[in-house]
Amino acid sequence: MRMWSRVRSWLRAVMRWARMESEMDAELRFHIKAFAEDLVRGGVPHEEAMRRARIEFGGIEQAKEECREARGVNALALGIGVNTTVFTAFDALALRPRPVKDPDRLMGVYRTKEGGNRGALSYPDYVYYRDHSKTLSELAMWSGGMHVTTSDLSVVASEDALRVAGALGFRLPQLLQGGAQRLSCVFVSGNYFRLLGARPAAGRLFLPEDDQPGAPPVVVLSGNFWESQFHSNPDVVGSTIHLNRVAFTIVGVTTADYIGALSAVPVLWAPIAVRPLLGDGTRESLENRSVGAGIVYGHLKAGISMTDAEAELNVLAAQLRAAYPEVERNSGVRVVSERKFNQIDSEAWPIVAATMGAVALLLLIACANVASLLLARAAARRREIGVRLALGAGRRRLLQQLLIESTLTALLAGAVGLPLASWTLHLLVVEIASAIPSYWGAIALQVTPDIRIFGYTVLISLLTGVLFGLTPALQALRTDVNSALKDNGSVLGQQLSKSRLRDLLIVAQVAACLVLLINSALLLRGSQRALRVDPGFDSKHVVHLSLEMAEPSNGYSQARLFELNRQLMEEIASIPGVTSVTEASRAPISGGNRFVPVGIADAEPPAGKGGEDKRPTAGYSYILPNYFESLGVPIISGRSFTIQEAETEAPVVVISEATARRFWPDENPLGKRLVIGSANARPPFAGERVPFSPSSEVIGVVRDVRSLFLNKVDESYLYLPLSGSRYWTSTLLVRTSGSASSLLATLGSAVRRVDANLPVVLAPLEWMVSFNPYFLISRIGGILSSIVGVLGLFLACLGVYGMVGYSVMERTHEIGIRMALGARPPQVLGLVLRECARPMLLGTAIGIALSAAVSRLLSAILFGLNPMDAISFAGVSLLLIAVALFAGWLPSRRAMRVDPMVALRYE
């Protein structure tokens, strides 16, 4: 309870700064008045009584300052808190070693092709390296993951998660609760847990025996799933769970938040050998040397360097090349340190960098703030310092004292900032992560503050304390003993350098704050635009329906699947309001982008070095003939496929306008021929087919759409005929005459009528937009930078408030003279405000210039919003000036109330 009252008092002090200040004023004024009245009653004349009361009370400002400190008001705490928050997140992403055994010696092994990027090793290659390497102690593989379905569990949907998702602007697709639930499952080799030194929370983890073909299927639960679904009941170990209709024995549970060498917690872990059982690829795909199977990890043996290991593995690679010249051509091996999570996407890096930059700005604002407070306090203490100097105190001693004071302030701020940081992190990481559907797995960043974070906080506290305490301390020491003793602090000359420094601090605060706010406005407006962007197809009337199961197993035979698909399409087509149903290998803007090299048939392909394919690539999907009318994509010229062409997958193709312009800029593309793909292309995933056609006739041209990336129109896109009776795609698109979202419930019951156990995910195409990574980046980036920006604004306002307040206090004498000479209160107000407006405007100008530079970098994720968007720039700037002037106006009212007589007599 006492803890709570402290937090409340602190919050009140921070949130209602102005009110607290005026209350404090009123309270002290009451004290002095009451005291004076008592003196008057004792026979002292009124004026004299007031004077005596003031003297008796002592330094009013000093008392106020001590009151403020007693309240724990500390802007620096906020700055340090936010800074620590982001450092922790950054640390968890980029600096902290993986939570595994011996992270320093953990290596990743990748396959390389001459001149190519690093890629995954194939399974047989992995086995060869594992069995022959003498430099790496043990080689384990992580072989990706998939979603599996089970009907054994009750579905738990969190209300909170939905609310948070809504607040962030996500629309989560609906999972039809036909009893089936999707779980994420990753595949690892039998020695994976042993290599990484994992301990089970219950039961046991995998052994190499579990990862043999024909071994009884076993699975390990994540601690998080065990807790949420089974309430950490140890009896779960040994029980059976059906995954894709195959019975698995639960042999154990990992500890909560255990991620191994992954970056997110999966729900289930399974041995690689069971993959074919779940329908993901076949036993043969594990024997194919040309299919990448996963990332291989190993520990360097003692005394072996990374280069030694790479050299040894390349000798093994040469043996493989000799044995399998066809598939292993040009391939080699690279060994990379896997000590840290270095797999932050290159796309996320600018965001991470921008966030760190933003937070550095915030710390700057907080520091400037504290510096101006210290400066003001030093000014108020000139008299004290003057007396000490006059009495012979050494300047070094005084400097020491002032520095110790500011350092202590900063350390105190750090102590408040640290819990603030972990609270904010909890809010940001844990709450936002909980909004993500469970089948995406859980994000488990190590965000609990530890000794490193603590050290970091102490360090920045000390740094800010010394750096920003030093200037005011030196300023105070430059005090001229004589004038200080007379305490005419406001006499012109001397004041100059001090107020210039103070102005500079305000300029820096306003500029930094403006950069943050303008860019957050740009990002938020950009992400808002993303929701309204015209993708070129009709996203409002189309529902995306996806069957979440692995083909062709899951207990369904190939034949049964085609039958199901036919039944589903018929059942859905009979729903009133549904105008057409179509099928495609992928729906626009829903991920799963696929590209294939294309060229003009019979033309000389562009020369590439070493037989490399230099043809341009195009996105593609396989579609049924009625795809274009279902999605509302106009056919510009030519026609769509006939049913006959689709069924036989004839060598015909429909291309986008941009594709036509690219290959035949001045000719009619109809009747021309394209060569699509190549005969020996490797599929991106085991079991997926890759288009190959040496000569396909262009039969139609359709309007350009945004189907690959939301932020730009597809540069090249091919539509290929889909044979509904030969291939099964799992993606249906349903067009309705009404709104798509109102159709979801009816669609759900239609699906259940066909098969109650089908796991189906439904979402209007419109919703898919919110899963687009560009949307996520700009939305989350915008939200984060506006949080940081508003904190910055708040701090900057405290700074302005403090500065104006102190300058009014210091100039009481001067103001008194002016008023005695006939200045009107509004003139005095103008005088004070003009003084603070100048640095504010300068700061705004600098802030706008900096923002313009930063916004250029953001233009890729602004969805066509002008990076110099007038509303964001002008609106935010005006808002900032208004708020800052208000912060200056509050204390300047005190200047108007100055009683000339009192002011002239004041101490």
Partner 1 sequence: MDRQLELLQGTLGMLILKAVSLGPLHGYGVLLRIQQISKDRLEIQQGSLYPALYRLEHQGLITSEWGESENKRKAKYYRLTAAGKHKLQTEAEKWNRMADVIAGILGARPEEV
> What are the Cα distances from residue 488, in Å, to 379, 813, 907?
11, 8, 10
> What are the Cα distances from residue 670, in Å, to 638, 656, 697?
7, 12, 8
Nearer to partner 1, 69 or 209 (CB): 69
348 belongs to the binding site for partner 1 (CB under 8 A): no
Stretch binding partner 1 (CB under 8 A), from 51-59, 248-256, 527-535, 540-548: 51-59
Nearer to partner 1, 6 or 753 (CB): 6
Q: Closest distance between partner 1 and the C-beta of residue 382, in Å? A: 18
Q: Closest distance between partner 1 and the C-beta of residue 444, in Å? A: 37
Q: Closest distance between partner 1 and the C-beta of residue 29, in Å? A: 10
Nearer to partner 1, 35 or 110 (CB): 35
Q: Between residue 102 and residue 161, which ones bind partner 1 under the rule CB under 8 A?
A: none
Please give the Cα distance from 804 to 177 (Å, whole number): 62
Residue 831, Ramachandran bin (φ over 0: left; ψ between -120 and 50: alpha; else beta): alpha
Please give the Cα distance from 869 to 880 (Å, whole number): 17
Query: How wide is the angle at C-alpha 675 spanned by C-alphas 674 and 676, nearest 5°?
Result: 110
Match 């005088």 to its residue by tokens. 831
Nearer to partner 1, 10 or 889 (CB): 10
Nearer to partner 1, 67 or 841 (CB): 67
Please give the Cα distance from 84 to 671 (Å, whole number): 63
CB-based burial label for 611 (10 Å; 0-12, 13-18, 19+): exposed
Q: Closest distance between partner 1 and the C-beta of residue 28, in Å? A: 7
Q: Between residue 64 and residue 83, which ones bind partner 1 under the rule CB under 8 A?
A: 64, 66-67, 69-72
Q: Closest distance between partner 1 and the C-beta of residue 426, in Å? A: 24
Nearer to partner 1, 68 or 905 (CB): 68
List the one residue out of 765, 7, 900 whose CA is nearest residue 423: 7
Nearer to partner 1, 68 or 639 (CB): 68
Instruction: Single out the residue of 58, 214, 303, 392 in contact with partner 1 (rule: CB under 8 A).
Output: 58
Amino acid at 299: H
Nearer to partner 1, 26 or 360 (CB): 26
2 belongs to the binding site for partner 1 (CB under 8 A): yes
DSSP assignment of 400-426, as one string? HHHHHHHHHHHHHHHHHHHHHHHHHHI
Q: Closest distance between partner 1 and the C-beta of residue 451, in Å? A: 29
Please give the sequence-ordered ranges of beta strands (E in DSSP) within 704-755, or none if there are none. Answer: 717-721, 731-736
Q: Closest distance between partner 1 and the C-beta of residue 49, in Å? A: 14
- Is residue 41 a contact partner of residue 49, using CB atoms and an 8 Å limit? no
- Is residue 178 a contact partner of residue 751, using CB atoms and an 8 Å limit? yes
Stretch binding partner 1 (CB under 8 A), from 58-66, 90-98, 159-167, 292-300: 58-66
Nearer to partner 1, 53 or 354 (CB): 53
Stretch binding partner 1 (CB under 8 A), from 52-60, 483-491, 593-601, 650-658: 52-60
- Is residue 511 a contact partner of residue 844, using CB atoms and an 8 Å limit? yes
Nearer to partner 1, 9 or 228 (CB): 9
Q: Closest distance between partner 1 and the C-beta of residue 479, in Å? A: 22
Nearer to partner 1, 275 or 894 (CB): 894
Q: Between residue 869 and residue 898, which ones bind partner 1 under the rule CB under 8 A?
A: none
**DSSP conformation class of 534:** -
Q: Closest distance between partner 1 and the C-beta of residue 44, in Å? A: 17
Nearer to partner 1, 53 or 93 (CB): 53
Nearer to partner 1, 7 or 878 (CB): 7
Please give the Cα distance from 861 to 320 (Å, whole number): 44
Instruction: Single out the residue of 11, 16, 48, 62 in contact with partner 1 (rule: CB under 8 A).
Output: 62
Nearer to partner 1, 11 or 427 (CB): 11
Q: Closest distance between partner 1 and the C-beta of residue 381, in Å? A: 14
Q: Closest distance between partner 1 and the C-beta of residue 67, in Å? A: 4
Nearer to partner 1, 1 or 451 (CB): 1
Site string for partner 1, 810-839 (x = CB under 8 A): ------------------------------
Q: Between residue 17 and residue 46, which ones bind partner 1 under the rule CB under 8 A?
A: 23-24, 26-28, 30-31, 33-35, 37
Q: Closest distance between partner 1 and the C-beta of residue 32, in Å? A: 9
- Is residue 439 a contact partner of residue 182, using CB atoms and an 8 Å limit? yes
CB-based burial label for 876 (10 Å; 0-12, 13-18, 19+): buried
First to last CA, the chain: 43
**DSSP conformation class of 757:** T
63 belongs to the binding site for partner 1 (CB under 8 A): yes
As a dihedral over the C-alpha atoms of residue 480, residue 484, residue 488, residue 492, rounded to 10 degrees, the angle is 20
Please give the Cα distance from 580 to 248 (Å, whole number): 40
Nearer to partner 1, 5 or 482 (CB): 5
Q: Closest distance between partner 1 and the C-beta of residue 898, in Å? A: 21
CB-based burial label for 597 (10 Å; 0-12, 13-18, 19+): middle
Cα torsion 426, 428, 432, 438: sign: negative
Instruction: Single out the residue of 18, 22, 44, 59 in contact with partner 1 (rule: CB under 8 A).
Output: 59
Q: Closest distance between partner 1 and the C-beta of residue 61, in Å? A: 10
Please give the Cα distance from 786 to 143 (Å, whole number): 39
279 belongs to the binding site for partner 1 (CB under 8 A): no
Instruction: Single out the residue of 19, 46, 48, 57 in contact with partner 1 (rule: CB under 8 A).
Output: 57
CB-based burial label for 610 (10 Å; 0-12, 13-18, 19+): exposed
Q: Between residue 488 and residue 527, which ones bind partner 1 under the rule CB under 8 A?
A: none
Give me the half-sphere count of Cα atoms (radius 13 Å) on the Cβ side of residue 23: 9
List the one residue out of 429, 120, 535, 419 whose CA is nearest residue 291: 120
Residues contacting partner 1: total by CB under 8 A: 32
Give me the half-sphere count of Cα atoms (radius 13 Å) on the Cβ side of residue 171: 12
CB-based burial label for 561 (10 Å; 0-12, 13-18, 19+): middle
Q: Between residue 208 and residue 267, which ones bind partner 1 under the rule CB under 8 A?
A: none
Instruction: Single out the residue of 40, 60, 561, 841 in contact with partner 1 (rule: CB under 8 A).
Output: 60
**Contacting residues toward partner 1, per CB under 8 A:** 1-2, 4-6, 9-10, 23-24, 26-28, 30-31, 33-35, 37, 56-60, 62-64, 66-67, 69-72
